[in-house]
Amino acid sequence: MRNSKGVRRGLTLKRQAGAVFLDRDGVINALVYNSDADISESPRTTEEFRLISGVGTAIRKLNKLGMKVVVVSNQPDVGKGRISERRFNRIREHMHRLLSRSAARIDAEYYCFHHPKASIRAYRRICPCRKPKPGLLLLAAKDMGISLRKSYMIGDRPADILAGKKAGCMTIWLNDMKCEYCTIMHGLRIQPDLIFRRLPEAASYIIDSAKRPR
């Protein structure tokens, strides 16, 4: 593990293979609605962390395909002091336990705790690992021998798609008809390569593509 006041977890591999990069919140697990602020946020306890339906099976199928599955996620709540690193790691461990029930595996995790307005000084900076910058993906590719041009970046926010584009990946936007994000995408002139509603649909596309003759 490396804490660049982001976190990296991974193994160094020699083979240049593709990977499936996943944002975490809204892709793997459901967001938590904060009624006071009227916004959806990252879970801050294991009780709040809930896998989205079908995610475990989808990741297991990607594992069987032989592609590395790598989480790349901004987690500024750590830098803002809303959740401790210790509790954050408990949530990570809980995620692995839930996925293991479907025999699914995350091969590596890369997190950015930075934010320009972080309340914890060590995390208050503009860094290359915070999406929409591609730093997390580039670091994972270096660590794990990943070919970015053979890889997919799957996320539910414009920052995910921008990071994937900058890294040279195929980009998949998970959109459940959140019209505000459509407006943002259009304004930023961001065009994801593919759009699906949920991770299981995206995984099925990736698996089918791998089976097609080249």
Hey, which residues are catalytic here?
23, 25
The token pair that represents 90 in the structure block: 């408990």
Please give the structure tokens belonging to residue 164.
Answer: 């994937």
Q: Which residue, chain included where needed, has tokens 């990071």?
A: 163
41-59 as b/e: b if 16+ CB within 10 A = ebbbebeebebbeebbebb
Residue 149's SS3 state is helix
